[in-house]
A and B are shown apart, each in its own frame.
Chain A
Amino acid sequence: MTEIQVAQIDDIADGGTRLVQVGDLEIAIIRQGLSYFAYQNVCPHQGGPACEGIRMPAVEDVIDEHGIFTGQRFNDADVHIVCPWHGYEFHLADGCNVINRSLKLRKFDVFSRNGSLYLSM
Chain B
Amino acid sequence: MPVDKPLSFRDVDGDHFDTESLLRNAVHQREKNGYDDFLIIDVDSHHYENEAFKEISDYIRDPVLRHEAKYQGTGHGGITSELGNYQSMAGRVTRYPGRRKEKTPPNPHRDITLMLRWMYAMGVDIACMFPTPMLNLASCNRMDVQVGLATAYNAWLCERILQEEKRIKSMLYLPMHDPAASLQIVKEFIDKPGVIGFMVTAPHYATFYDNNYALIYSMLQERGLPLAFHAGFPSGDPGLKLTNRFIGMHALGFPWFNMLHMTNWLMNGMPERFPRLQTIWIESGLAWIPFLMQRLDNEFMMRSSDAPLLKKLPSEYMREMFFSSQPMEKVNNKRALEVTFEMIKAPTQLLYSSDYPHWDMDLPSTIFDLPFLNRKEKINILGENARKLFHLAPGLSDSKMQRRTHKK
Contact = CB atoms under 8 A, between A and B. Distances in A.
Nearest to B362: A46
B363 A47 contact: yes
Interface string A79-120: 000101111000000000000000000000000000000000
B232 to A, nearest CB: 20
B64 A74 contact: yes
A58 B407 CA distance: 45
B92 A47 contact: no
A85 B93 CA distance: 6
Interface in B349-402: 359-363, 365-366
A63 interface: no
A110 to B, nearest CB: 24
B65 A47 contact: no
B62 interface: yes
A53 interface: yes
Contact of B361 (A52, A54, A74, A85): A85
Interface residues of A, number: 16
Contacts of B365: 46-47
B30 interface: no
Nearest to B95: A84
Given A47-B363, A47-B365, A84 B65 contact: no
A87 B359 contact: yes
Given A46-B362, A46-B365, A47-B365, A84 B93 contact: yes
Contacts of A74: 63-64, 67
21 contacts: A46-B366, A47-B363, A47-B365, A52-B94, A53-B94, A56-B92, A59-B64, A71-B61, A71-B65, A72-B65, A73-B63, A82-B92, A84-B93, A84-B95, A85-B361, A86-B93, A86-B359, A86-B360, A86-B361, A87-B92, A87-B93
Interface of B: 61-65, 67, 89, 91-95, 359-363, 365-366
